A and B are shown apart, each in its own frame.
Chain A
Amino acid sequence: MSSDESGERRVVVTGMGVISPYGRGLAPFREALFAGRSAVGRIRRFSAAGLPVDFAAELDLAVLRGAFPDPIDRARDPCALAAILAASDALRDAGLAAPGEARDGAAVIVGSGFGSQLATAGGYADFYERHRERAHPLTVVRSMHNAVSSSLSIELGLRGENLTIAAACASAASAMGLAFQRIRSGLDDIVVTGGSDVYVHEAILRAWIALRVLARHEDPARASRPFDRDHNGLVLGEGAAMLVFEALPRARRRGAPILAEVIGFGATSDAQHLTAPSAAGQAAAIKAALRSARLAPTDVGYINAHGTSTPLNDRVETAAIKLAMGDVAGRTPVSSTKSLIGHTMGASGALEAVATILGLQQGVIFGTYNYERADPECDLDVVPNETRDAAVAIALSSSFGFGGANAVLAFRRRNECHG
């Protein structure tokens, strides 16, 4: 069936592209997750020596810019550059490398928590640090928040609506949720969606240090340890991931590869606190995703958790999973991609959706690394420290953002999509 009993259209993922600290492409990302290789290391972009935290999972800006031979393109903010590369790879993966009727009408709905922060910071540095009386003439258009989605539209010739969604760490998940709903309801046929965040800058690092939520550890690779008893904060990470969402009938007509099905989305607000998460709010989002996908908790074979590695997040998320999943909470495998790539902020929902789909495709669950001793308040089935074989049919991917934004997506394995 190409639509379900309610007449809603089914939505499938037909392409994925990733720019991660491991490099460009799905293969290095998949291999690193499979092997459990951490992307976290000492910061190279600027000297962080002497700061209480001097590590992150950074993208290499030289490599990123090097992918754009034309200086006009290269001058964009790195957040937009990463998004363009990931989206271009996702379209190629979807069999839509060349402009044409099949892709030109695509909408672009992408998330970014920070937007074009490096360009913004550069503009301020010109003024405050270098005391330049004149700003660079492209400061406005490089640093506007929607530079991310508009760059994709312009560079790739995508003429549907373009939107940049800002919902802090839930940005990409919210963007993908909106993309899913718009295709399901018939508003769009194809959407390039996902998220991008490239923001590791000394002033921003100092701001995170001041918030007292960053992980401290002598070994950067072991600092992100979601659900572990010694978790003590999150690790900043960067990246971009883009996915092509398409209406199933259309994907079938053009013989597109079908990587997975998007079957549900739920989003809520805590309406409570700027930073402290709420189990009730998160659980409500998980339940809403289950309702949207017409699933019972027992149908869920895996949860890719938000799992930031802050004690508060991990414990509240554990409580939320219990509230939403009931009796099966302790038997549902959970893992956090952030244990390896850190917290990629507004891109995290997209990178983690890709990790979830790669796992569904390969019949595995990527583990939670640095998980040595369970935090007793995180008593879930936290898949520890290695890739586990598991023929999961249905998975959830959760993202919870500062400001109390909760967004949860449900995915179904490809070979379950043929109904």
Chain B
Amino acid sequence: MDEQEVLDVVRRLVVELFGERPELSDLPIDTPVATAGVDSLRLMELLYAVEDTFDLRIPDEDVNALKTIGDLVRYVIAHAGASGRS
């Protein structure tokens, strides 16, 4: 998957989990999602969905570096196996 495809999937997960929220859909991909109300608990849900969808495991030590949609997309591209599904 290329960056745009991964981004589309992550954005879709965000909508599934948190609903249609302009503050999230309009959020620049390198702005922390926390600024749009995705607190640490919600971020755990998002990471869980990303792990599931792209068939990868995000170790605890990597979590603190994942603050934006862009972080997530780059992480998926770097780590997702060939079995990534959407």
Contacts and interface: CB of A to CB of B under 8 A. Distances in A.
A127 to B, nearest CB: 15
A141 B44 CA distance: 13
A35 interface: no
A141 B47 CA distance: 17
A134 interface: yes
Given A134-B48, A136-B48, A141 B41 contact: yes
Contacts of A71: 16-19
A135 to B, nearest CB: 9
Contacts of B19: 69-72
Interface string A110-151: 000000000000000000000000101110010000000000
Most chain-B CB neighbours within 10 Å: which of A69, A71, A134, A141?
A71
B25 to A, nearest CB: 14
Counting contact residues on chain B (CB < 8 A from A), the size range is: 10 to 19
A136 B17 CA distance: 13
A308 B33 CA distance: 51
B48 to A, nearest CB: 5
B4 to A, nearest CB: 25
Interface residues of A, number: 9
Nearest to A72: B18
A321 B18 CA distance: 52
Nearest to B57: A134
B55 interface: no
A134 B18 contact: no
A77 B42 CA distance: 16
Nearest to A133: B57
A154 to B, nearest CB: 12
Interface in B4-60: 16-19, 41-42, 44-45, 47-48, 51
Contacts of A70: 19
A69 B19 CA distance: 8
A16 B10 CA distance: 43
Nearest to B21: A70
B42 A72 contact: yes
A137 B44 contact: yes
A379 B56 CA distance: 67
Nearest to A69: B19
Interface of B: 16-19, 41-42, 44-45, 47-48, 51
Given A71-B16, A134-B48, 15 more contacts: A69-B19, A70-B19, A71-B17, A71-B18, A71-B19, A72-B17, A72-B19, A72-B42, A134-B51, A136-B45, A137-B41, A137-B44, A137-B45, A137-B47, A141-B41
23 contacts: A69-B19, A70-B19, A71-B16, A71-B17, A71-B18, A71-B19, A72-B17, A72-B18, A72-B19, A72-B42, A134-B48, A134-B51, A136-B45, A136-B48, A137-B41, A137-B44, A137-B45, A137-B47, A137-B48, A138-B41, A138-B44, A138-B45, A141-B41
Going nearest first, the 8 A-B pairs with the smallest beta carbon separation are: A137-B44, A71-B19, A137-B48, A70-B19, A137-B45, A72-B18, A71-B17, A71-B18
